[in-house]
Structures are given as structure tokens and as C-alpha cells.
């Protein structure tokens, strides 16, 4: 009986920790993503559990992250907060569990999409490649690995 209680407690703690690893993306959250990265290049990836091409893209980015440990990738899921356990599990299965993760957390996702990009209407996968000056290049659809490698060469961090 004691082991059962211990297992239940550990399961609960694990679920809470997983939920805390995915932050709620609300109005103003984009600035919370951008501010600590000022002067640093990074990739912002919008994805969803239902996205057909997202697994391929996230696995490719995970591979690149292994060979470029300083590559900064931020994931924003366009799903809902109630999907957090599945988001954590899926990101882990793609090798992306150690990157910063957010999930849409407002009743009107259109507002969040507009805050991210007024010209974005929700198609995914969508990625934004931010350079050091935070000039960004948007890409919709499956990203070509060569494009990311070229972007990395142009935006390499000095300590990678």
C-alpha cells in the first residue's frame, strides 16, 4: 500500500512539473520571449499536436540542436492549456523537451496570432528566424534543413 501511495505522489509531482515546463502564452508573452534574447539569434517555432508536418520539423531541429548546442529554439503550441501533458510528451518524443515551451492560453487565439504577426492567419508549422538585431524572417510549412544550416552559419554564436 505504501508503494502505491508513493507511486501516486510521484506521478502527481511529475505531472505538475511537466505542466510548469510549458508556460501559458497570453497577451504580452511575446515580449517575455524576446526580452531575455535581446542581441541573440533564435528560432521561434509555432506548432500543434494536430499538425501533420510538425513532427518532421521538430525532429530536424532537435538533430541540429544536438550538433549546435547553443542553438536557441522556442516552441509555442497553438493548442490549449488543457493539452499540456500531451505537448510535453510529444516534445519529449521529438527530442525537444529541454527547449522553452509555451502554449496558447487565451479564449481568442486570433489575438495571440496577431500579436505574434499581423500577417499570420494560423497556418502551421510556422517559424520565425530572429537574427541578433531581432530582424526576423518568417517561414510557413516544413522548413528545409539546408535553410536552417545556412541561417545558423550567418547567425552563429561565438561560443557554440
Q: Give the global pTM.
A: 0.86
Q: What percentage of the chain reaches a pLDDT higher than 90?
A: 84
Going by pLDDT thresholds of 50, 70 and 90, the confidence category of residue 107 is very high
At residue 115, the pLDDT reads: 97
Which whole number is the average pLDDT over 11-23?
Answer: 52
Return the higher-pLDDT residue of 7 and 52. Answer: 52
ω into 74 cis (within 30 of 0)? no
E strands of the chain, at which residues? 22-25, 42-47, 73-77, 100-104, 126-130, 136-140
CATH of domain 2-154: 3.40.30.10
Q: What is the mean pLDDT of residues 10-20?
A: 39
Asked if 74 and 45 count as a contact pair (C-beta separation under 8 A), the reply is yes
Question: In sequence order, which residues have a C-beta less than 8 Å from that of residue 127 and are 6 or more positions away?
Answer: 43, 44, 45, 46, 57, 138, 139, 143
pLDDT band at 157 (very low <50, low <70, confident <90, very high): low
Has residue 127 got a pLDDT over 90?
A: yes
Rounded-to-integer distance, Cα 88 and Cα 83, Å: 9
- What cell numbers appear for 75 in the block? 516552441
**Residue 156: its pLDDT value, please?**
78
Amino acid at each position: 500500500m505504501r508503494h502505491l501511495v508513493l507511486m501516486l505522489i510521484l506521478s502527481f509531482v511529475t505531472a505538475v512539473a511537466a505542466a510548469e515546463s510549458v508556460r501559458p502564452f497570453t497577451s504580452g508573452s511575446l515580449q517575455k520571449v524576446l526580452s531575455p534574447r535581446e542581441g541573440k539569434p533564435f528560432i521561434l517555432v509555432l506548432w500543434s499536436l494536430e499538425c501533420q508536418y510538425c513532427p518532421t520539423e521538430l525532429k530536424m531541429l532537435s538533430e541540429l540542436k544536438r550538433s549546435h548546442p547553443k542553438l536557441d529554439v522556442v516552441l509555442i503550441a497553438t493548442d490549449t492549456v488543457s493539452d499540456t501533458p500531451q505537448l510535453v510528451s510529444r516534445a519529449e518524443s521529438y527530442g525537444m523537451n529541454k527547449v522553452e515551451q509555451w502554449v496558447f492560453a487565451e479564449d481568442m487565439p486570433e489575438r495571440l496570432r496577431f500579436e505574434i504577426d499581423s500577417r499570420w492567419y494560423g497556418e502551421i508549422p510556422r517559424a520565425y528566424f530572429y537574427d541578433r538585431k531581432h530582424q526576423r524572417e518568417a517561414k510557413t510549412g516544413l522548413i528545409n534543413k539546408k535553410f536552417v544550416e545556412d541561417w545558423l552559419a550567418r547567425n552563429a554564436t561565438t561560443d557554440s
